[in-house]
């Protein structure tokens, strides 16, 4: 029984072996992040999260209808007034900063929701982070300049606390971790990339997959994966949303030009799974559903967390495939579906029509 006779040896391992032996990888095997493959495996092994096929098909039809009505496109990103409107290197740095810090905005049980005031409006969640960065820039603090983060004299934790000050006595969770993540990412950009995020993007030569893999390889701050014993499970949520935000902000041109942007998957956060459940796409075991409804934390790297994240990625892929079967000419990918689901979740939250809380896992990854 030779090493390759066993049909259990999966394609990925064969590719890695061929590459390590210097055997030519057939030209059509384009690079991949591995996220979608891992999501499928998680889904196939899942016991506490299931995908409702009929619910997903019906939801996909409705999502397509609404996305057409709302004309969802990369332009939607800039339609959010709080996002930077310019199209230049400073905005690339803004998005890089944003997507290093783009995680965990929900309050601990007895604390107030972190809220910031900017230009006489109050923001929570993801938008509080965007507002904080915009406010700092208006105050002349170069918070979105990666080389500033490695300047130990100028970029201090006191300054960081000032930048993230709230208007209701609350504080954003894991502020110290966020500070250290910027510090260390700034050192990497300074030492390895001559202070230029554009330089990192250029190294990917227009490939979204290569850029994601480059970020994950060179920046521990983006290495969102779980070693579940049997294998490494990749999610790469903030690395992928960084590429997606670039693509959307620059509308597929300039620093947002990617030939393989459709290889980017849904971003495994805590809002979109909530929306997929609400739309009847995802189903939870009673034990998991009760945990979520009681707003009790779900441990990072637990099977529950892994299944929530992996099944959500796979479910959005099923929605994407269904939409393209129904309307092959639809200008559609997982990014735009994801953006729509996130924005819809936020609308429902604002209307107070949520049917289930989002899950709570204290994590720097989402």
**CA nearest neighbour of 101 among 199, 5, 242:** 242
Of residues 269 and 307, the one with the C-beta less far from ligand 56B: 269
CB 60 within 8 A of CB 323: yes
> Three-state SS for 234?
strand
Of residues 80 and 293, the one with the C-beta less far from ligand 56B: 80
Cα separation, 210 vs 217, in Å, equals 10
Q: Least distance to ligand 56B from the beta carbon of 215, Å?
A: 15
**CA nearest neighbour of 261 among 250, 273, 269:** 250
Cα separation, 83 vs 244, in Å, equals 14
To the query of whether residue 331 is one of the catalytic residues in this protein, the response is: no
Binding residues for ligand 56B (CB under 6 A): 76-77, 80, 102-103, 105-106, 125-126, 267, 269-272, 338-339, 342-343, 346, 366
Q: Measured at CB, which residue is nearest to ligand 56B?
A: 125
Q: Least distance to ligand 56B from the beta carbon of 148, Å?
A: 23
Of residues 84 and 186, the one with the C-beta less far from ligand 56B: 84
Catalytic residue among 262, 269, 327, 343, which?
269
Q: Least distance to ligand 56B from the beta carbon of 302, Å?
A: 17
Of residues 91 and 150, the one with the C-beta less far from ligand 56B: 91
Q: Least distance to ligand 56B from the beta carbon of 62, Å?
A: 18
Tokens at 289, concatenated:
């559903």
Q: How far is CA 126 from CA 105, 113, 134, 235, in A?
A: 7, 12, 13, 19
Cα separation, 47 vs 223, in Å, equals 26
Question: Computed over its alpha carbons, how large is the radius of gyration of the chain?
Answer: 21
Of residues 59 and 193, the one with the C-beta less far from ligand 56B: 59
Cα separation, 344 vs 228, in Å, equals 32
Q: Least distance to ligand 56B from the beta carbon of 10, Å?
A: 28
Per-residue H/E/C for 43-85: HHHCCCEEECHHHHHHHHHHHHHHHHHCCCCCHHHHHCCCCCC
Q: Least distance to ligand 56B from the beta carbon of 113, Å?
A: 9
Tokens at 57, concatenated:
């098909």
Catalytic residues: 269
């Amino acid at each position: 029984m030779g090493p390759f006779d066993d049909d259990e040896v999966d394609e990925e391992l064969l590719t890695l072996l061929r590459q390590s032996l210097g055997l030519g990888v057939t030209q059509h095997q384009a690079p991949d992040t591995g996220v979608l493959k891992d999501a499928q495996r998680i889904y196939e092994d899942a016991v506490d999260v299931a995908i409702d096929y009929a619910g997903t098909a019906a939801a996909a039809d409705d999502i397509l209808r609404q996305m057409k009505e709302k004309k969802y496109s990369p332009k939607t990103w800039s339609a959010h007034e709080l996002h930077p409107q310019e199209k230049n290197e400073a905005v690339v740095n803004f998005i890089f900063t944003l997507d290093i810090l783009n995680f965990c905005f929900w309050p601990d049980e007895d604390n107030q929701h972190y809220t910031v005031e900017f230009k006489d409006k109050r923001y929570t969640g993801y938008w509080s982070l965007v507002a904080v960065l915009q406010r700092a820039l208006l105050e002349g603090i170069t918070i979105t300049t990666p080389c500033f983060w490695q300047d130990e004299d100028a970029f201090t934790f006191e300054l960081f606390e000032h930048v993230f000050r709230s208007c209701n006595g609350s504080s954003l969770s894991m502020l110290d971790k966020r500070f250290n993540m910027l510090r260390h990412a700034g050192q990497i950009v300074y030492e390895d990339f001559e202070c230029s995020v554009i330089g990192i993007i250029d190294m990917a030569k227009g490939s979204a997959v290569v850029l994601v893999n480059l970020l994950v390889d060179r920046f521990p701050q983006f290495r969102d994966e779980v070693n579940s014993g049997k294998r490494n499970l990749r999610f790469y949520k903030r690395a992928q949303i960084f590429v997606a935000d670039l693509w959307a902000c620059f509308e597929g041109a300039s620093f947002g030009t990617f030939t393989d942007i459709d290889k980017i998957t849904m971003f495994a956060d805590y809002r979109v799974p909530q929306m997929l459940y609400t739309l009847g796409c995802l189903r939870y075991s009673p034990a998991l559903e009760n945990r979520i409804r009681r707003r009790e934390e779900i441990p990072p790297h637990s099977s529950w967390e892994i299944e929530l994240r992996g099944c959500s990625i796979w479910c959005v892929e099923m929605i994407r495939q269904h939409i393209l079967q129904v309307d092959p000419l639809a200008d559609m990918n997982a990014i735009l579906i994801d953006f729509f689901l996130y924005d819809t979740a936020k609308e429902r939250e604002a209307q107070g029509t949520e049917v289930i809380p989002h899950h709570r896992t204290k994590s720097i990854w989402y």
